[in-house]
């Protein structure tokens, strides 16, 4: 009967959620996401925690026999290139920092292999929780209400000053040197808005292109978009615009006669925001540090082999950029970037995977 079918569906949904929160892999992913940028971990023995997670992940991979040999060899080659370039280029080579950078990359790769098909769903659930919490906290900040916090004195992000404080699940850009003045940007639980938007944009991409469009999909999409808007992040807005434009182009649920008008509306909004907001048009046109490359950089050996992972090595580089891609060139050079992205080149490609890669 119809009642029996409905009852079976409800039981299955309930069982799914019970199993969902009982899955230890979900909580391990939550921990790994948190140690990737939650300021609370600056007040803890961060490296010891990272090493423990590395051991747990490695033992799990060994027990489940799921290590992808090609990917592991590729990551090892990348790590070796980072070590060798650092030892050669830098007078103050940071061996331990390089090892911990390698651990982070290995943990990320191995955890995806452990979680497998549930990774997208788990990641989106975690980020949806952080998005909801961050929007509520951001709303309090908009009314000039400073939430209870822990000052993060140990961080060197602000040059010894305390310009951001942690509420464990939310970071406030609160300048303690200036009477607890607030900067209204949504950091989520991470150290800065640009980091948070990266996680949220990834969740939005997963939800739009990889998750089944169930009943709660529209609500999650709206929450993710609002969260990215409240970060006021230059990169966040650019990625969001490109993702929405591509989604409109390839969506099967939007009729063709409406796609043209939606794209016109989206482009018009994009142009307006670019002209009106200083952190978009003005920042992109005047911030030469994000694209500070010359012909001599491309001709140098260091451009191909990098400087390794150390501050002194970075100071030798003429690439004075905050771009993630250029920083990766500073770390391990063009050779390192090729090794880093090689697994993607050997996977079966489709339009979605290419757009996600970009």
Question: DSSP string spanning 246-302?
Answer: HHHHH-SSS-HHHHHHHHHHHHHHHHHHHHH-IIIIIHHHH-GGGG---HHHHHSHH
pLDDT tens digits, 141-190: 988 888 888 877 655 666 666 678 888 899 988 776 666 677 889 999 99
Taking residue 133's Cβ as centre, other Cβ atoms within 10 Å add up to 16
Any alpha helices (H) in 175-255, and if so which ranges?
A: 193-209, 217-231, 234-250
Among 8, 11, 17, 15, residue whose Cα is nearest residue 216: 17
Q: Highest mean pLDDT range out of 102-116, 155-169, 172-186, 194-208?
A: 194-208
pLDDT tens digits, 301-318: 677 777 777 766 666 666
Among 33, 42, 317, residue whose Cα is nearest residue 200: 33
Among 32, 197, 196, 31, residue whose Cα is nearest residue 106: 32
Provide, rounded to the nearest whole percent, the portion of the chain with pLDDT above 70: 77
Q: So what's the pLDDT on residue 15?
A: 47
pLDDT of residue 210 exceeding 70: yes
pLDDT of residue 266 exceeding 80: yes
Q: Highest mean pLDDT range out of 15-24, 257-266, 297-306, 322-331?
A: 257-266
Provide, rounded to the nearest whole percent, the portion of the chain with pLDDT above 90: 20
Among 241, 268, 239, 263, residue whose Cα is nearest residue 251: 263
Segment among 59-68, 147-156, 261-270 with least mean pLDDT: 147-156
Q: So what's the pLDDT on residue 175?
A: 73
Which neighbouring-strand residues pair with 12?
none
How many residues make up the chain in this entry? Answer: 358
pLDDT of residue 256 exceeding 50: yes
Burial class (CB in 10 A: 0-12, 13-18, 19+), 350: exposed
Residues 171/165, Cβ–Cβ less than 8 Å: yes
Q: Could you tell me the pTM of the whole model?
A: 0.82
Kind plus residue range of the DSSP H or E element containing 111? helix 95-115
Residue with tokens 């009729």: 255
Residue with tokens 């339009």: 351
CA 187, 190, 192, 195 torsion-angle sign: negative
The C-alpha angle with vertex 266 and arms to 264 and 267, in degrees rounded to 5, equals: 65
């Amino acid at each position: 009967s119809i009642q029996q079918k409905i009852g079976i569906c409800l039981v299955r949904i309930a069982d799914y959620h019970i199993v969902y929160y009982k899955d230890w892999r979900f909580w391990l992913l939550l921990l790994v996401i948190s140690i990737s940028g939650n300021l609370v971990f600056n007040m803890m023995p961060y490296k010891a925690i990272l090493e423990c997670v590395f051991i747990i992940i490695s033992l799990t991979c060994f027990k489940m026999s799921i290590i992808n040999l090609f990917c592991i060899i590729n990551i090892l080659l990348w790590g070796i290139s980072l070590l060798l370039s650092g030892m050669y280029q830098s007078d103050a080579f940071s061996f331990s920092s390089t090892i911990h950078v390698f651990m982070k990359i290995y943990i990320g790769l191995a955890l995806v292999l452990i979680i497998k098909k549930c990774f997208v769903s788990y990641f989106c659930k975690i980020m949806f929780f952080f998005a909801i919490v961050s929007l509520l906290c951001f709303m309090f900040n908009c009314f000039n209400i400073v939430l209870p916090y822990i000052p993060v004195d140990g961080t060197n992000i602000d040059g010894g000053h305390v310009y951001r404080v942690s509420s464990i699940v939310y970071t406030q850009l609160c300048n303690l040197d200036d009477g607890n003045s607030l900067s209204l940007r949504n950091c989520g639980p991470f150290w800065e808005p640009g980091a948070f938007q990266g996680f949220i944009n990834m969740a939005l991409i997963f939800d739009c292109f990889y998750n089944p469009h169930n009943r709660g999909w529209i609500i999650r999409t709206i929450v993710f978009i609002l969260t990215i808007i409240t970060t006021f992040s230059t990169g966040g807005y650019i990625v969001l615009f490109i993702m929405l434009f591509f989604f409109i182009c390839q969506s099967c649920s939007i009729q063709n006669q409406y796609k043209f008008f939606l794209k016109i509306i989206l482009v018009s909004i994009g142009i307006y925001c670019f002209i009106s907001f200083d952190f978009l048009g003005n920042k992109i046109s005047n911030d030469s540090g994000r694209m500070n490359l010359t012909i001599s950089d491309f001709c140098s050996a260091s451009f191909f082999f990098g400087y390794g992972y150390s501050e002194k090595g970075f100071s030798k580089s003429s690439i004075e950029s905050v771009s993630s891609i250029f920083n990766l060139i500073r770390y391990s050079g063009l050779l390192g970037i090729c090794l880093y992205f090689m697994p993607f080149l050997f996977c079966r490609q489709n339009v979605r995977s290419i757009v996600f890669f970009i």
